[in-house]
Structure 1
Amino acid sequence: MSRAMQTGEWAVMPVPVPDASRVAQMYEAPYLADAYAIRLPEDASADPELLARFMFAHQPSWVAWLMSMRDALVASFGIKTARQLRSSPKPAGDERVNIFRIYERRAHEIILGEDDKHLDFRVSVMRETRALATGAHPYLVVSTVVHCHNRLGRTYITLIAPFHRRVVEAGLRRAARLGWPTVMKV
């Protein structure tokens, strides 16, 4: 793992969903579309799947509590719970990062998500280089887009959106504090 970056460099910034991301045009009129970026250390891995797995494996402990509360509340509405996603039989080729199904892998981006009766969503974890006054630097951008199918989906996403944003920001900050996986030197 790379050494922890300076506290000021753990800043998570809301950014537009990058045009280069596959999720940018995934849904014609997404009900929710947001993105957050964090600067990576120069020696951080360029593998978006590895970065995604690291971030989701090291969520703050309060996220697990929040997910268990969410699951208890939504189960009666027929919405998939995290437990169902983890334990349900998987069709051949169904690979996951944490509870999220992998939809697509690209050189600098992995697309995760899930479809349900109330909404479909996709999460992009994309490593990109951003040009700054101090030069070009690597960033990790996590983008989420949501397509709602009905009133239940719209109500659900309206209620959880503030929590979703805090979870993404906290996950990125925690991964930065722990130290992102680095490029293996041969």
Structure 2
Amino acid sequence: MRRVYQYAYHYAIASDLPEHSRITHVYDKPDLADAYAVRLPANAIDDPELLARFIFAQQAPWVKSLMGLRDVLVAGFGLKTSRQLEAAGASASARDGQHIQIFRIIEKSAGEIVLGENDKHLDFRLSVMLQSQPNRPESVRYLTISTVVHCHNNLGRAYLRLIAPFHRLIVSSYLRRAAGFGWPLRNS
């Protein structure tokens, strides 16, 4: 396992999938599996849903532009565009609060929220998980975003090959931006 405790709060680093995450073994042979972690300050909130909502509200302008380009490219293949996902998410959230941005909430626990979507070309799950560093004298916590993807067909595999490098940049960008804005803090 890669060590994450030596980095400052604003660095998002590649990590192993958390052993106890609900998504680590959701697919027998995922076509993509990655994780990025960032150290949280001691006084940051510990609600994974609120942290996920905060993270995904910190979209960089270049990510929005990239998503627009993605939408143009995938629309002809019958894949869901980010606008369609946002509209569906906004509508569903207004009814039941079960979306965060474009992501459907699959399940929640005290230390993790699992988001995801199923489509004709692939299924994915995204986890936002709080973890403590064992064997440390002080309370050191990390927030890890993990993603696993299972492709159903050649369209899914081609799409994944195209977006995987951007996916990695986007996830680490979200974590860096959230840390740069300052994590939501617990009420003292």
Same fold (TM over 0.5): yes
Q: State the partner residue of 1:30.
A: 30
Between 1 and 2, higher relative CO (CA 8 Å, sep ≥ 6) is seen in 1
Deviation at 1:67, TM superposition (A): 0.6
Partners in 2 of 1:33 and 1:153 — Cα distance?
15
Superposition map of 1:11-22 within 5 A: 11-22=11-22
RMSD in angstroms over aligned alpha carbons? 1.7
Distance 1:130 1:161 in 2: 28
Partner of 2:57: 57
- Residues 84-138 of structure 1, C-alpha deviation per residue, up to 9 Å, x if partnerless? 1122364964710010000000100000011100000000000111136564401
Residue 3 of structure 1 corresponds to which residue in structure 2? none
Contact 1:32 1:147 in 2 (8 A): yes
Q: How far has the Cα of 1:155 moved from its partner?
A: 0.6
Q: Which residue of 2 aligns with 1:9?
A: 9
TM-score normalised to structure 2 length: 0.90
Q: Distance in 2 between matches of 1:31 and 1:43?
A: 36
Whole-angstrom distance in 2 between the partners of 1:26 and 1:93: 25
| 1:158 pairs with one of 158, 161, 164 | 161
Q: Which structure 1 segments of 5+ residues have no match?
A: 1-6
Does residue 127 of structure 2 align to residue 124 of structure 1? yes
Secondary structure, aligned partner of 1:25: coil
Number of aligned residues: 179
Return closer, same or farther for 1:85/1:130 CA change in 2, 3 Å cut-off. same
Quickly say closer, same or farther: Cα 1:94–1:118, change in 2 above 3 A.
farther
Structure 2, unmatched stretches of 5+, are 1-6
Cα deviation 1:52-95 (Å, max 9, x = unaligned): 00000011111111111101110100110111112236496471
Inter-partner Cα distance in structure 2 for 1:60 and 1:134: 36
TM-score by length of 1: 0.91
**2:97 matches 1:115:** no
The equivalent residue for 1:70 is 70
The answer to which structure has the higher strand fraction is 1
Contact in 2 for aligned 1:94/1:101 (Cα 8 Å)? no
SS in 2 for 1:49: helix
Percent identity, aligned pairs only? 52
Give the 3 Å change call, closer, same or farther, for CA 134–162 of structure 1 in structure 2: farther
Q: Is the 8 A contact 2:9 2:41 kept in 1?
A: no
Partner of 2:3: none
Q: Could you list the per-position Cα deviations for residues 24-70 of structure 1 after superposition, in whole angstroms to 9, with x for gaps in the alignment?
A: 01001000000000000000000000000000001111111111110
Moved over 6 A (4+): none
- Measured in 2, the distance between the counterparts of 1:114 and 1:37 equals 22
User: Do the aligned residues in 2 keep the contact of 1:67 with 1:82 (CA within 8 Å)?
Assistant: yes
Does the CA-based 8 Å contact 1:121-1:144 persist in structure 2? yes
